[in-house]
Homo-oligomer: A and B are copies of this chain.
Amino acid sequence: MLTSAAMAIITLTTDFGMRDGYVGAMKGVLARRAERTTVIDIAHDIPPGDVAHAAWVVATSAREFPYGTIHVVVVDPGVGGARRGVIISAGRQWYVGPDNGVFAYVTDKQYDAWIIDSQQLVQGASRTFHGRDVFAPVAASIAAGVDPASWGALTKLAGALPWGPRPEREGRVLHIDRYGNLITDLPPAEAGAQVTIAGHTLSIMTTYEDVAPGELLAYIGSAKTIEIAVRDGRADTRLGVARGERIKPAGPTGPYR
C-alpha cells in the first residue's frame, strides 16, 4: 500500500462543467478537510454521464502524476442507486469514485479496491451529490493517511465498459477527442504499415504535416497506439464513426497481405 506524502495531490475529473457550483462545492470541502493538499483540475467538461469517456481521460492523465496522487472521479449517472463507491490502489496511485467502469483502464492489471460503506457516510449526506458528500471527504481522509480499509471491505470491482478485452489483430476506437481524432487501442507493432477503418486504408505517418490539409492519416498517437485524424479537420465526422468502431491491420502483416 502507498504511504501518503506530506503534501498530497488530489486531482478532479468530473462531468460537472464550469457553469454550476458543483466543482466549487467539492473544492470547498477539500479546502476544509485537506488543507495541506494541492488540488488539480484534470477535466470538468466530460460529456454528461459518459463513463467510457471519463475512463480514458483518467487513464491517460493519471499515469503522468507522481506516485501517491489521489484521483477523484465523479462521472456518476447512477449516484445514490445500486452502484457502490470505491477506493482503489493501482499503479501506485489512488482512485476514489463510483464503481461504474470509470476506472476500467487503470485496473486492467493489478489493483486493490475497498467499498466505501454507506453506513459510514457523513450524517445528512445527499443522495445525488456524492462528489461533495462522499468522494471528496474520502479523498481527504486518504490524503491524511487514513487506512482505506477503515472505509469498508476489500472488494472486486463490478463496473465495466461496453467493450471487453481487445480481440487479436484488431483494435477499437476507445476515445474521440476535442479535435475529432480517433484514439484506438491497436498497438503499432500489430498495425504494421497500414490500417483499415470504415472502408479506408491508411498508411502510418509520423505527424499531421505528412499529409495535405483536409486529408485523413493514421499515426502513432500520444498513448502509443494508432490514432486516426484529418489534418486541420475532424476524423469522426469525416468517417462518420463513433466510439467502438473497429480498426484492422492492412499492411504486409495485415489481412490483405
Q: How many copies does the complex hold?
A: 3
The 8 Å CB contact of A45, one of B18, B57, B179, B220, is B18
User: Smallest Cβ distance from A241 to chain B, in angstroms?
Assistant: 18
| Residue interface bits A1-40, CB-to-B below 8 A is 1, else 0 | 0000000010101011111111111111101100100111
CB distance from A39 to the nearest CB of B (A): 8
Assuming the contacts A9-B31, A81-B208, A232-B49, asked whether A24 and B128 have C-beta atoms less than 8 A apart, the reply is no
Q: Mark A167-190, 1 if CB is under 8 A from B, else 0.
A: 000000001011100000000000
Size of the A side of the interface (Cβ < 8 Å), in residues, is 74
- Of all chain B residues, the one with the shortest Cβ separation from A175 is B20
Q: Which of A11, A27, A39, A129 has the most CB of B within 10 A?
A: A27
B40–A27 CB distance below 8 A: yes
Are B66 and A129 touching (Cβ within 8 A)?
no
Taking the closest CB of chain B, its distance from the CB of A70, in whole angstroms, is: 12
Question: Residues of B contacting A152 with CB < 8 Å?
Answer: none
Q: What 7 pairs across the A-B complex have the smallest Cβ distances?
A: A28-B64, A24-B61, A80-B207, A81-B209, A24-B42, A129-B222, A21-B60
